[in-house]
Structure 1
Amino acid sequence: MLQIVTGDPRPITRQITDGIKRQIAGGDLLPGDALPSVRGLAQQLSINPNTVAKAYAELTAEGWLLSRTGLGLFVAEQRQRLSDEERERRLAEAVDRFVSDVIGLDYPQQTILDRVAADLSNYETKKTA
């Protein structure tokens, strides 16, 4: 389901939340799909269950997951999870981080834009499939 990369500068919790969000956005996880238990995912990834619990709690608080008492965690129905202002703030932060990361790679701007567009179109294709 997910992979943890030891050389990734993001904390493990962030790698988990980002990975699950990508799977939901890409259509690999659909509304109503069950997620592995905290203990099960922790064993699968060979990490501390508290780390998985923290990631699941963040995703639940943001509206990506739905907790059903006694049944587990499920992918929530798609809806706008954040206010327009918060979405804009997060987009600006993400773009700033991205530009800071790629500016030193010395690629032409169009190459970078084409690559981003191609990656984003993969998610659109999965959503409508």
Structure 2
Amino acid sequence: MNFDNTAPIYIQIMNLIKKDIILGKMNLGEKLLSSREYAQNLKVNPNTMVRVFNELEREGVTFTKRGVGTFITESEEKVEIMKKEMAEDIVRNFIEGMMELGFNFNDMIALIKSRLDKEAVQ
């Protein structure tokens, strides 16, 4: 994974895991690799992965079975909530960026419509 400087690494990893869950690359109730295995695979400090696992559990994205491991939530509702939250973040960032460039809402809507029309042709 290529990390950027826009957000802390642990948040980027959390978002990667959440996105994989939303996209079905990871199944509800599936056991995750250990934090140590994740750290090795992503080439990050093991403490970073411990923080990722703690935060995901705090948010209800994962749960731990003592002595067994960490598992993805079994709640489809939680996954839908995560999906909406991530979509809202994307939209908020888009709007803020466009406003910084001087676009108004009508300009943004026209730009989005134009892009959607191009995507529909492809």
Q: Same fold (TM over 0.5)?
A: yes
Q: Which has the larger radius of gyration?
A: 2
Question: TM-score normalized by structure 1?
Answer: 0.67
Q: CA RMSD in A?
A: 3.4
**Structure 1: gaps (5+ residues):** 119-129
Match of 2:93 in 1: 97
1:47 corresponds in structure 2 to: 44
* Correspondence for 1:76 among 73, 93, 105: 73
1:109 lines up with 2:112 in the alignment: yes
Measured against aligned partners, the alpha-carbon deviations of 1:83-129 in whole angstroms (never above 9, x if no partner) come to x9xxx99876553223223554x8823245x39x99xxxxxxxxxxx
Cα pair 2:3 2:12 within 8 Å, conserved: no
Amino acid at match of 2:48: T
> Superposed, which structure 2 residues align to 1:1-129 within 5 Å?
3=1, 5-81=2-78, 94-102=90-98, 104=101, 108-111=111-114, 114=116
Cα offsets for 1:12-62 (capped at 9, x unmatched): 111111011111111111112111111111111111111111111111111
Q: Which runs of 5+ in 2 are unaligned?
A: none
Compared with structure 1, are the counterparts of its residues 89 and 25 closer, same or farther at alpha carbon in structure 2 (3 Å cutoff)? Answer: closer
Distance 1:90 1:16, change over 3 A: closer
What CA distance in whole angstroms lies between the structure 2 residues aligned with 1:44 and 1:64? 21
Aligned residue pairs total 109
Aligned CA distance change for structure 1 residues 110 and 57 (closer, same or farther; 3 Å): same
Pair 93,23 (structure 1): closer, same or farther in 2 beyond 3 Å: closer
Q: Indicate the SS of the match to 1:98.
A: helix
Give, in whole Å, the separation in 2 of the partners of 1:90 and 1:36. Answer: 23
Larger RCO: 1 or 2 (CA < 8 Å, sep 6+): 1
